[in-house]
Structure 1
Amino acid sequence: MIEEGKPLFLQIAERIEDSIVDGSLEEETKAPSTNELAAFYRINPATAAKGVAMLTDKGVLYKRRGIGMFVTAGARQALLGERRDAFAERYIDPLLAEARTLGLGPDDLAGMLRNRAASAPISTEGTPA
């Protein structure tokens, strides 16, 4: 579950974000504590705290004094928007650049996507509930 070469605190933050995006950690609900994260992933609590602090700084989590960390209202939509932007940057922009090189227009690309989607196996994995 732990990826080599990527800082653990980033992996912790990404796992929490994944839980928010997939709906298993809902907005305005309590997020796992630093100690719970440290015990679950068998890491130093300071490392887990760094991942949680990163999400707090980002506005995804907020602290209720004496109670714990909670998911911010609107966090899911903000994370989805951020991921959509990253998706476009990582996949769509290079796709469009190559399409231009090949002389393909938007209609050509849309047709290719429809054809590929029609022949692709049906999967609900990663589909938001």
Structure 2
Amino acid sequence: MGGGMLSGEGPLFRQVADRVAQDILNGTYPEDTGVPSTNEYALFYQISPITVAKGLNLLIEQGMLYKRRGIGMFVAPGAREHLRATRRAVFRDQHVMALLQEADLLGIEHSEVVQMIIQEGSQ
């Protein structure tokens, strides 16, 4: 599991969902493998099992996890690719569009922004 306490933004149940989603994205929990139980997460993050269950249920509703009765929760097939696509859309909207709007404000050509990114990426 990721590290210790939750310290992100928003309600704790959403932070739990985000942390599990992050662990799916980075390959900690591959598709069709089990994730820790509600009680294990609750102990690890020192929060209520009810809060954890609410976060995990959010991922079940989104089709990222599925339950096997009496066994536990597992990463759904296609979950990683779905999360990637969703995060890419958010990245574009929150970062790329904001970057280009700021560039427009400063009179920086988009081609110059591309060059800046290439330069920074190669360092």
Q: State the TM bucket, normalised to the shorter chain.
A: 0.7 to 0.9
Match of 1:67 in 2: 71
Greater relative contact order (Cα 8 A, min sep 6): structure 1 or 2? 1
State how far apart, in whole Å, the 1-side matches of 2:62 and 2:79 are: 10
SS at structure 1 position matched to 2:7: coil
Long gaps (5+) in structure 1: 120-129
Alignment of 1:109-124 (within 5 A): 109-119=113-123
Of 59, 66, 77, the match for 2:81: 77
Contact in 1 for aligned 2:68/2:74 (Cα 8 Å): yes
Moved over 6 A (4+): none
Of 1, 4, 17, the match for 1:13: 17
Alignment of 1:12-91 (within 5 A): 12-91=16-95
Long gaps (5+) in structure 2: none
TM-score when normalising by structure 2: 0.87
State how far apart, in whole Å, the 1-side matches of 2:35 and 2:106 are: 48
Deviations 1:26-85 (A, max 9, x none): 000011111111111121111110011010011100111221111000000111111111
The percent of aligned pairs where both chains have the same amino acid is 44
Give, as a single letter, the amino acid of the residue that structure 2 aligns with 1:24.
T
TM-score when normalising by structure 1: 0.84
Task: Give me the CA root mean square deviation.
Answer: 1.6
Contact in 1 for aligned 2:65/2:76 (Cα 8 Å): yes
SS at structure 2 position matched to 1:24: coil
